[in-house]
Structure 1
Amino acid sequence: MKVEDWKWRYLILVFDCSMTFGCYFNIDIISAVQADIQGQDTGTCANITNATCCDGCLGLGPDRYNQLYTAFSWMNALFALPGGYLIDRIGNRVSAIMVTTMATFGTILFAVATMDGIQGTTAMFPLMICGRVLIGAGTGSSLIVQDRVVAFWFKDRISFVYGFVIFALRVGNVSNFLLTANIAKHYGIQWAFWMGTVACVIGVLSAISLAIVDYYGTLQLDDDCKINMKALPVSRKDIREFPAIYWMICLMIMSYYASYLPFVSNGTKYIQDRYGYSKTTSSYYNGAIYDTSVVISPLVGSILGAIDCHGIVLTSIFAFTLPIFPLLSYCPEIHPLVLTIWIGISYTFAGVCLWPCIIIVVPKKAIGTAIGIATFIQGMGIGLTNLVTGKLLGFTEDPNKESLIHKYQKMFWLLLSMCLFCTLCSVVLNILDLTKERKLNRRLAKKSVKEMKNFADEKSPLMTDAPSIQSYVSIDASNVDLAPGIQ
């Protein structure tokens, strides 16, 4: 039996998507309660400012708060390189259980750091850093496993299926922004973080289920499919032979995510300070980025599969994103919900389109390693951007609103520069792709082959002993059909 003939493969997709739910619930869990983490606890509900709160605040300030994101991103990056290589070596099943368990231990450490007896002590911040480090290591690796599963079981429908993968990831983000702030408000910040641990346990159970179904699924396949699924060694030569387009994709992933994720991490507090909304409402508006993605991501996968021009779509989406940062910075009359929905639309198209490009342009046996390298570059860029953002916003919160808004504007200029760099990289990527194999703009390749066929039909001689133009066109057409990508 072939992979595409096994009807239960969509059950594997369900567990594959659910596996990362807990990780993505916890990525921005601190953003949902940013004011409580940054602000100083006054012990009273009088004289509350943007730098204080009445009860339960942790008092980290903007700089150390952003260091929590930096710890997550850099560990995500550092673990991705050996993680991708090891996952290629040991396979998906064991890897899925290992990495989700690692993330779960990280959420436990983070929640323990906020408990009575540790909260406010010198041990609190180091424990929080350690927790974020483990969450980062587990999250990056779980995405590599997830992409490897999709690459094997759904190679015939990558863009369509990846829309549902992004949908599942965004459900984790949305659940966080809907639940965490309310749990912290009614039951305390500690219980909000323990809820993150529960979400990660769901991911572990899904990983175990994925391993079981994946094992029985491979028993149904023919010998050729089983051979293709086996983990194969990846050498340094394989990495050196990655095409230039792959490295350009890595730069695009790094710069695009570094342009929007630091806003998500600081967006709740920015909306609260800039527009005057409550902590809960600000969390909802910031979370609208992911609400939008949940709604449109399955449709986006179908659209991209129909367009079949990933490179050109990416350039269009990055250009579409550029105006957002000046509008956030200098146009407070525009409702923040409009702008966060705008970010959500552009992010969804970029997310669904970017990562499958790696699967398209690198050999199948090196997908884990390739995604690991891309995740490393991405995490280093995001972590550095968050670190600079924390320095721009200051070690402690500025009680002067005008001065604080000026600091936010510097942050938005930084994010705009990253998005502009990403747009330029996408232009270079299209030049490379259109002048060579056109793997990322396959519709244009098919159009070119069709034009060559028409030319051969009209111009080829009726009788000749030499190879005809038609024969060369047929060879080119077959190569296009064999190229990896969306059929």
Structure 2
Amino acid sequence: MPNLEIGVSDNRSHDHAWDCHKLLTAECVYQLETASYVCNMVRAAAKAYYRFILLIFNCLLTFGSYFCFDMPSVLQQQFQGNLTCLNSTETNRTTDCVEGLGMTPQQYNLLYAIYAWTNAVVVTLSGFFIDKLGSGVGIILFSILIVLGSATFALGSHFKGTCYLLPLMLIGRLLFGSSNGSLIIAQDRIIAFWFKGKELSLAFGLQLTCSRLGSVLNFFLTPSIERNFGIQWTLWGGMLLCVLSFFSAIIVSVLDKVGTKQLGLDAVLLEDSKKVRFQDIRYLSLRYWLLVVTIMFFYNGIFPFVADASKFIQDKYSGYSQQEASYVAGAIYDASLLLFSIAGILVDYVGLRAVIALISAVLTLPVFALLAFTFVPPLVSTIWLGVTYSFAAASLWPSVFLVVPQANIGIALGLATTVQMIGSGLCNLIVGQLLGNQSRSLKIPVWHWQRVMIFLLANIISCVIASIFLNIVDKQEGGVLNMTTKRSEAVQEETQEPSETSPLLREQ
């Protein structure tokens, strides 16, 4: 019996010790899981913090170039004004004679056309170059070219009345066009890499908001600056903003390089870049090409209108000074400045990108009808156009990232920009022809402007047709563009690569 009691006592002690061991083990596992969860949360927070710091500087990349792009639109009277206004008082100088560079309407529209053409020729090759060498190298190179282009453009304005004026300004726009579209591709590629997922449209919307802030400030500030300092120094001021954007390019390049290295993806991205071939273009889907055509026709209505909007408002509607007309024309960018981020959040939340693009195009149709056939205050039309433009841009451009592989985003964006710029360039030329070549006339007949608005309306109608086909093909090919948010997140979780969930800061 004593031996039995001892055995039972030993067994009880052993069981008690085993229970304590299990409790301790469970407690340790719980603590380890808690610590791991907290660590992952900290890492995720660090990753988000890093991404949004990079986003801030990435947004500033195109602030200067967007400010400079539409400076001719704001100063259209000065570009087309007389070389001299002799024997004129300050009062009648502003009403009867505007001293400027002496360009014809066709020469003026050529400034926008050559920008679009150069973009069209260069951006596809630039996209391939970015896919091969990386976004960091691209943004540095293209930012330098933007500075050179804006400086050459400003230099050309000092040669008014000579045969050097137009060639120098065209060379400046050529350099500017060859690099600005390419810089936007590199900028978008960085967004696609760091914000792939539910924040994609939000990041893209914030980027467009900052870029359009440059456009808005141009419409508000440039007329006053020109009155005080003259057209030459105004153009040089725009060049200085491009220099500031160049410094942002250096910061973005460093942050992108350090971030990918911390993620351990630098070697993977390098290996993927080696696999990129220009021949991959032939594998792009019908859905991608319909998306490109939709983008082209929508922007065919926007950009040519903005280029001449200030002059159009002064010619058709009475009582608008140059500065007031610039403010009204700039309302397109004012509205988009306020709405890009909101539109991005809504598109991320709802999904249905192709449907939103179609609705945006349909709602744009009345804008050009009002401009062509009525005398409704132009501010109504420009704000309306800014609203539809915001939702169209927030749904269309991020959709490119969803229908092409990550490694080919540069080429895909380059092709899309090429097609868009070919369309815009041709439209600028057609608008110039429709307005006529009545030398340096400061007043263009209203019926000429009516023809222009009808032409722009035809482009938006074509956009509606293209977006209808886009929705049909997207449904046939799986409906990725029109996925609702929950369904989209489920698909992403099923197909997500391990590298996309890696923390930004790995343990050393």
Distance of aligned partners of 1:445 and 1:436 in 2 relative to their CA distance in 1, 3 Å threshold? farther
Within a 5 Å distance, the mapping from 1:40-439 to structure 2 comes to 40=82, 41-45=84-88, 53-55=97-99, 57-115=100-158, 118-156=159-197, 157-223=199-265, 227-228=268-269, 231-276=273-318, 277-332=320-375, 334-396=376-438, 404-439=445-480
Match of 1:38 in 2: 80
Higher percent of residues as helix = 2
- How much has 1:231 moved relative to structure 2? 2.9
- How much has 1:435 moved relative to structure 2? 2.0
- How much has 1:49 moved relative to structure 2? 9.0
Q: Is the 8 A contact 2:127 2:413 kept in 1?
A: yes
Amino acid at match of 1:437: G
Q: Deviations over 1:277-306 (max 9, x none)?
A: 111111111111111111111111111111
* Matched residue SS, 2:477: coil
Q: Is the 8 A contact 2:128 2:278 kept in 1?
A: no
Distance of aligned partners of 1:84 and 1:283 in 2 relative to their CA distance in 1, 3 Å threshold? same
Distance of aligned partners of 1:390 and 1:306 in 2 relative to their CA distance in 1, 3 Å threshold? same
Aligned length: 451
Q: Is the 8 A contact 1:249 1:358 kept in 2?
A: yes
Distance of aligned partners of 1:479 and 1:124 in 2 relative to their CA distance in 1, 3 Å threshold? closer
- Where does structure 2 lack aligned partners over 5 or more consecutive residues? 1-39, 502-508
Q: Is the 8 A contact 2:80 2:440 kept in 1?
A: no
Q: Is the 8 A contact 2:78 2:98 kept in 1?
A: no
Q: Is the 8 A contact 2:58 2:249 kept in 1?
A: yes
Match of 1:482 in 2: 495
Match of 1:474 in 2: none
TM-score normalized by structure 2?
0.84
* Matched residue SS, 1:231: helix
Match of 2:36 in 1: none
Structure 1: how far apart are the matches of 2:262 and 2:269?
A: 14
- How much has 1:100 moved relative to structure 2? 0.9
**1:13 equivalent in alignment to 2:26:** no
> Alignment RMSD, CA only?
2.5
Structure 1: how far apart are the matches of 2:371 and 2:116?
A: 24
Distance of aligned partners of 1:420 and 1:43 in 2 relative to their CA distance in 1, 3 Å threshold? same
- How much has 1:76 moved relative to structure 2? 1.0
TM-score normalized by structure 1?
0.88
The structure that has the greater radius of gyration is 2
* Matched residue SS, 1:114: helix
Match of 2:7 in 1: none
Structure 1: how far apart are the matches of 2:387 and 2:124?
A: 30
Q: Is the 8 A contact 1:36 1:53 kept in 2?
A: no
- Where does structure 1 lack aligned partners over 5 or more consecutive residues? 450-476
Q: Is the 8 A contact 1:246 1:358 kept in 2?
A: yes
